[in-house]
Amino acid sequence: MSERIGLEASHAAAEAVKMADVDVIAAYPITPQTHIPERLAEMVADGELNAAYVPVESEHSAMSTCVGAAAVGARTFTATAGPGLEYMHNVLYIASAMRLPVVMTVANRALSAPLSIWGDHSDAMSVRDTGWIQVFCQNSQEAFDMTLWAFRVGEDPGVLLPVMVHFDGFHLTHVTEPVILPGQEEVDKFLPKFRYPFALDPDKPMTLGAFAPPDIYSEAKVAQEVAIRKSKAVVIQGFREFGEIFGRYYYPVEPYKTEGAKTLLLTMGSFSETAKTVIDTKKDRGESVGLINLRLWRPFPFEELRQAVKGAETLIIFDRCISFGGPGGPVSSEIRSALYGEKEGPEVLSFIGGLGGRDMSAKDFEYVIDRGCEIAQKGSAELFETVGIRGEVTGIRG
């Protein structure tokens, strides 16, 4: 029996973890992720969830504990944010290379300095290449759905990879929204028991995490790269199965009113919901605009993206992160690269805003689209443009 209740994304994710019946949770509290481990600790203490809750002393230890727990075949969860994600950075590579399907929610937060506890995507972009499957959520419902889905996909015998579920710090983690919680029987139908084929077992000794000299390391990395690329089929299958059971269908790339649109805006996470209201307004005014919500970040959905932008003249990417001294927002450079060499592909424009929790309201999204259309006509002297920065920003050229 499903029920519709008010939950912030943090508590929605915690509910998903509980319904997934995890075995081990190892987490260190950090704003704005705190409500997730806090709620889970409460569930374990109250006997609602039968799991080992390991109150570690740091994020590096949190991820290391998860690696160890997953290696004995435990369903494993952790959550972090911003600097915490950075602090566990090297262990992220270990989890993915050892093919341990840890699930982690990241309450996206800016990186210091200046110290900021508020949201942007600097943390997510810094772990782009860690070999984790990564998705972004637009709202609390998706925080629940994607967390549950993450276990299904990561633990699939054909995948065995860790999965990161990103949702915006404060804008989602601390905002109460209506969330439909499914019944346990539906969850059990969707999520089979976890069976790790290489679980540590004293009766069957194996070596996990061995050393690799130069004559084998490259082969190991290629095998890992092939595995994450292959995982896309299961990512999509997981979305489909989720839709069939719960009635909410997700896709790697989600176009919104893009049909026949000349100008497309591409956003990730909670930006997408605000952007949709702006697209609605502009559509009503007869403007030829549409939105693309990029859900799947890794493995990158090349084919789906190419399909989604077909026929568009201008593609505006709105990043929440700066690649210092680089080619623009990290998402924009990724998409430029994905579309490079496409015949009749759209012109890709890069905008950056919403850093360190700066609110981007409907009028900011309107500005981005209008300015994007203007650049498409007249060009811009800059490699990328910023949104809502006080003082003129010029000279952003190579």
Partner 1 sequence: MTQKRLRTGIDFTWRDMEVGNVITEAGNAALRETGDWRTQRPIVDKEKCNKCGLCWLYCPDAAIRPLEDGYYEPDLFYCKGCSICAKVCPKEAINMIEEEEK
Shorter beta-carbon distance to partner 1: residue 219 or 359: 219
Task: Decide if residue 233 touches partner 1 (CB under 8 A).
Answer: no
Joined together, the tokens standing for residue 143 give 């925080």
Contacts of 200 (CB under 8 A, 6+ apart): 71, 72, 73, 206, 208
Shorter beta-carbon distance to partner 1: residue 160 or 360: 160
Site for partner 1 in 95-114 (CB under 8 A): 97-100
Coil vs helix vs strand at 370: helix
User: Rounded to the nearest whole angstrom, what is the least distance from the CB of residue 246 to partner 1 in the complex?
Assistant: 30
User: Rounded to the nearest whole angstrom, what is the least distance from the CB of residue 33 to partner 1 in the complex?
Assistant: 27
Coil vs helix vs strand at 236: helix
Contacts of 107 (CB under 8 A, 6+ apart): 9, 10, 32, 33, 36, 79, 80, 81, 119, 167, 168, 169, 172, 173
User: Rounded to the nearest whole angstrom, what is the least distance from the CB of residue 188 to partner 1 in the complex?
Assistant: 26
Backbone φ, ψ for residue 153 (5° rounding)? -80, -50
| Mode of pairing for the β-strands spanning 253-256 and 289-294 | antiparallel
User: Rounded to the nearest whole angstrom, what is the least distance from the CB of residue 336 to partner 1 in the complex?
Assistant: 29
Which of 1, 46, 115, 197 forms a contact with partner 1 (CB under 8 A)? 197
User: Rounded to the nearest whole angstrom, what is the least distance from the CB of residue 320 to partner 1 in the complex?
Assistant: 33
User: Rounded to the nearest whole angstrom, what is the least distance from the CB of residue 127 to partner 1 in the complex?
Assistant: 19
Alpha-carbon distance of 76 to 219, in angstroms, equals: 28
Site for partner 1 in 202-231 (CB under 8 A): 205-210, 212-213, 215-216, 218-220, 222-223, 226-227
Joined together, the tokens standing for residue 230 give 């292959």
User: Rounded to the nearest whole angstrom, what is the least distance from the CB of residue 213 to partner 1 in the complex?
Assistant: 8
Joined together, the tokens standing for residue 123 give 């943390």
User: Rounded to the nearest whole angstrom, what is the least distance from the CB of residue 198 to partner 1 in the complex?
Assistant: 5
Shorter beta-carbon distance to partner 1: residue 213 or 260: 213
Coil vs helix vs strand at 116: coil
The site map against partner 1 for 272-311 (x = CB under 8 A) is: ----------------------------------------
Alpha-carbon distance of 37 to 43, in angstroms, equals: 10
Shorter beta-carbon distance to partner 1: residue 113 or 210: 210
Shorter beta-carbon distance to partner 1: residue 45 or 200: 200
Shorter beta-carbon distance to partner 1: residue 207 or 394: 207
User: Rounded to the nearest whole angstrom, what is the least distance from the CB of residue 205 to partner 1 in the complex?
Assistant: 5
Residue range at the interface with partner 1 (CB under 8 A); choices 6-14, 48-56, 75-83, 198-206: 198-206
Question: How many other C-beta atoms lie within 10 A of the C-beta of residue 260?
Answer: 9
Number of residues forming the site for partner 1 (CB under 8 A): 24
The site map against partner 1 for 137-176 (x = CB under 8 A) is: -----------------------x----------------
Alpha-carbon distance of 148 to 241, in angstroms, equals: 12
**C-alpha separations of 110 from 107, 120, 182, 309, 317 in Å:** 10, 5, 33, 29, 19
Site for partner 1 in 356-395 (CB under 8 A): none
Joined together, the tokens standing for residue 187 give 């969850």
Burial class (CB in 10 A: 0-12, 13-18, 19+), 46: exposed
Note the residues at the interface with partner 1 (CB under 8 A).
97-100, 160, 197-198, 205-210, 212-213, 215-216, 218-220, 222-223, 226-227
